[in-house]
Amino acid sequence: MAFTLPDLPYAHDALASLGMSKETLEYHHDIHHKAYVDNGNKLIAGTEWEGKTVEEIVKGTYQKGAVAQNGIFNNASQHWNHAQFWEMMGPGETGMPGDLEAALTEAFGSVAKFKEDFAAAGAGQFGSGWAWLVKDADGSLKITKTENGVNPLCFGQTALLGCDVWEHSYYIDFRNKRPAYLTNFLDKLVNWENVASRM
């Protein structure tokens, strides 16, 4: 099925006071995400993937161990990643639901330690990629990082939280200060109710 660019679940300027400017969202959503949608649609046209869901395409075109992934995978995975990313943030101050807080404390020792480890994973991802909180097949929670557009679907994991650490996600607002962007993301931008709903 054709990829479609989802509307943002909030106005372009809704996150500005929280550290993600209207300009960033205009570039990131309206240009970068749209490019993944448009290029993905061109690449899957007339192929076996044309009628598949984006999740099926990501899982079916991922090449484990490849130095570089193929174009269909790159665009499909980045479309999926960004569609999740917009939903994982929000302008309202959502407190962390108790069940999520308990799960993070059990897995990482405390919410503060989870945030520290998540930020370290994102800051430590060389080049472009993503930091993730995932639920593994055995139900355990883990922090992972992936290169470029690779995501938890590739490993049979459930994405609970993802943070885009490509420079286009933070350079307008934070320049080259990726660690500051990650701290701000965790402290001000995450919609914790959305994260909890994915468990």
- Residue-wise pLDDT for 61-107, tens only, equals 999 999 899 999 999 999 999 999 999 999 987 799 999 999 999 99
Extract the annotated binding site for Mn(2+). 28, 82, 164, 168
Q: How far is CA 161 from CA 5, 141, 157, in A?
A: 20, 11, 12
Extract the annotated binding site. 28, 82, 164, 168
- Residue-wise pLDDT for 137-195, tens only, equals 999 999 999 999 999 999 999 999 999 999 999 999 999 999 999 999 999 999 999 99
Q: Which has the closest alpha carbon to 198: 120, 154, 107, 132? A: 132
Contact (Cβ atoms closer than 8 angstroms) between residue 165 and residue 128 = yes
Instruction: Report the predicted TM-score, pTM, of the whole model to 2 decimal places.
Output: 0.97
CATH topology of domain 98-198: minor pseudopilin epsh fold (3.55.40)
Architecture of domain 20-88: Orthogonal Bundle (1.10)
Same fold, 20-88 and 98-198: no
Domain boundaries, the chain: 20-88, 98-198
Rounded Cα–Cα distance for residues 175 and 184 (Å): 13
